[in-house]
Structure formats: structure tokens, C-alpha cells
């Protein structure tokens, strides 16, 4: 019975990852895209959005499908800068409007103090990214749950040039 706590921890960890594996229906995904299009200034169908988990949080990329679509790139950059600033203030209202208030991880993220989670915006030649990081395990867990929910609802496309930067889940 020495291994009982270890087995229990493993079962608990596995049970919390099961919802992350479930996919939403195409109808639900379309509804999320429609709500998203109402709150973002760029054309959702002309962009790719990814969420890559890391040891201390994760990285969100939004890029234009066409690298010469300067209008979309500018809109992406403006939007990600705006939401990074809102997230720093604990304002996740954009996320709530798209995904609902009961989105996994969201309640925990909203409880974080101002400096508990870092939201580092970076403009990219073809879009922008936000790097989310924290030293607090409860917020790492919340970010991972939030990223998993994002992947479920938006899909999980791969951006080849960015994946090499995040080939391992470290920062």
C-alpha cells in the first residue's frame, strides 16, 4: 500500500486530462467561430490560431494565412496587444463572450493577482503571439486547462515555423 498515494495521484491526473481529449461537434465549433468573429477585428477564416502548452504556461499564436495580407496582420497585432493588456488587469471578458463563463481554467485565471501570471505580447511578421507564464502551479494548471479548451473549440492547427520553437514543453 506504499504506492496508494502515487496511484491515486495518477488516477486524479488522468481523470483531469480526459475532458481535454474530447472534441466538440462541428456545429459547436462553428458557433464558437461565429461568436469569435463578433469580438475580434480580424477575419477568423483568414487566420490560424494555435495554443501550445509549455512548462510554465503556454504560447498563443495568431497568424494570417497569407503573409502578404498586411491588413489582417495589423488587425491581429492590435487585437492580441489589446487582450494581453486586458488579461494583465484580470479582464477575461473577451474569452467569456466567445467561450462562456464556465470555460475550463477561466475561473482560476480570474482569481490571479496582477503579477501572478505574465502575459507577454510579441508582434510577428505574419501576426502576433502572447506568451503566458507563471511560477504558480495552480495557474499553470489553469492555463493548461484553458489552452486545452481553446484547442477543443478552435481546432489544433500546426504552424510549422513556430512548432520548432516549442518542440519541447519548456520555456
| Residue of higher predicted confidence among 95 and 23 | 95
Beta bridge partners of 121: 130
| Residue of higher predicted confidence among 23 and 91 | 91
89-98 long-range CB contacts below 8 Å, 24 or more apart?
89/114, 90/114, 94/39, 95/146, 97/35, 97/38, 97/39, 98/32, 98/35, 98/36, 98/39
Query: What is the tens place of the pLDDT at every residue in 136-158?
Result: 999 999 999 999 998 887 666 65
Q: What is the DSSP string of 90-112?
A: T--HHHHHHH-TT-TTHHHHHHS
Query: What is the tens place of the pLDDT at every residue in 97-118?
Result: 887 889 999 999 999 999 999 9
HSE-CB at 146 with a 13 A cutoff on CA atoms is: 24
HSE-CB at 16 with a 13 A cutoff on CA atoms is: 12
pLDDT higher than threshold 50 for residue 12? no
In this structure, are residues 122 and 162 in contact, taking their beta carbons and an 8 Å threshold? no
Structure confidence at residue 27 as a pLDDT band (50, 70, 90)? low
% of the chain residues with pLDDT over 90 = 58
Greatest extent of the chain over all pairs of C-alpha atoms, in Å:
62
pLDDT higher than threshold 80 for residue 22? no
- Helix, strand and coil content of the chain, in percent to the nearest 5, comes to 55, 20, 30
Mean of the pLDDT values across residues 9-23? 44
Unique residue bearing C-alpha cell 489553469? 142
pLDDT at 167: 45
Structure confidence at residue 159 as a pLDDT band (50, 70, 90)? low
Amino acid at each position: 500500500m506504499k504506492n496508494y498515494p502515487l496511484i491515486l495521484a495518477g488516477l486524479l491526473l488522468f481523470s483531469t486530462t480526459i475532458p481535454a481529449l474530447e472534441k466538440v461537434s462541428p456545429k459547436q465549433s462553428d458557433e464558437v467561430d461565429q461568436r469569435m468573429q463578433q469580438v475580434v477585428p480580424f477575419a477568423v477564416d483568414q487566420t490560424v490560431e494555435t495554443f501550445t502548452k509549455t512548462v510554465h504556461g503556454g504560447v498563443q499564436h495568431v497568424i494570417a494565412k497569407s503573409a502578404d495580407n498586411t491588413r489582417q496582420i495589423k488587425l491581429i497585432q492590435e487585437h492580441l496587444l489589446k487582450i494581453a493588456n486586458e488579461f494583465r488587469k484580470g479582464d477575461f471578458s473577451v474569452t467569456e463572450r466567445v467561450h462562456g463563463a464556465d470555460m475550463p481554467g477561466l475561473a482560476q485565471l480570474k482569481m490571479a493577482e496582477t503579477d501572478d501570471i505574465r502575459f507577454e505580447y510579441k508582434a510577428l511578421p505574419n501576426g502576433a503571439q502572447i506568451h503566458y507564464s507563471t511560477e504558480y502551479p495552480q495557474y499553470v494548471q489553469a492555463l493548461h486547462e484553458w489552452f486545452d479548451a481553446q484547442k477543443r473549440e478552435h481546432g489544433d492547427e500546426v504552424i510549422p515555423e513556430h512548432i520548432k520553437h516549442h518542440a519541447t514543453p519548456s520555456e
